[in-house]
Amino acid sequence: MFYKKKNKKDFLDLVLNNLSEPPPYFPHDAKLNKEGYTQTSLVIQKSLKEISSNEVVNYIKGNTIFLDVRMPSSFEKIHIKNSINIGKTPNSFASWVGALVPHDKKLIIVCDNKDEIEVISRLARIGYENICGFISSFSNIPEMYMDSIKSISALEISSKKYFNSKF
């Protein structure tokens, strides 16, 4: 259906009416599109560093974000406290990272062995260049920095068992 408007203002009002707010990452991405970005290969080269358990503790204390891209079932069993689990699904990884992970924070990637290059590359393509490195093993990380969770399905939540529970 085509709309014929008499002037530019009416046309813009029609087109822009009811647009949702831009996602939090939009201003950063718009700036990158305008000013340019670091080549993905350079971000990979700089970020492809396995982080030792001692360094992990320092990064935890330093307000670094741990982006855990492992499967949810692996994340449930063990993860670094306060880390964010976003699976590397092809269609939604970039959107979820953009919505939940600030561009101005340092990142450590938690991934399965051999996934680090793919994840760094995908992050670099959406403007994340503050990647300090990756971890693929939790050995020697002090237990006080580790956690686990129990996954609850939507069906379980709707049951009477969780009716007045706080999550």
In terms of residue numbers, what domain contains 47? 36-137
CA-nearest of 88, 128, 78 to 108 is: 128
The helix (H) or strand (E) run that includes residue 133 is strand 131-135
CATH number at residue 130: 3.40.250.10
Residue 16 in any domain: the answer is no
What residues does 109 pair with on adjacent strands?
A: 67, 134
In a domain, 91, yes or no: yes
Residue 166 lies in a domain: no
pTM of the model: 0.80
Express each pLDDT in 11-67 by its tens digit: 877 777 878 787 777 888 888 889 988 999 999 999 999 999 889 999 999 989 999
Per-residue pLDDT band for 160 (boundaries 50, 70, 90) equals low
| Among candidate residues 96, 100, 94, 146, the one with its CA nearest the CA of residue 123 | 94
> In this structure, are residues 50 and 114 in contact, taking their beta carbons and an 8 Å threshold?
no
67 in a structural domain: yes
Q: Would residue 128 count as lying in a domain?
A: yes
Question: Helix (H, G, I), strand (E, B), or coil: what is residue 39?
Answer: coil
Report how many domains make up the chain.
1
pLDDT for residue 82:
95
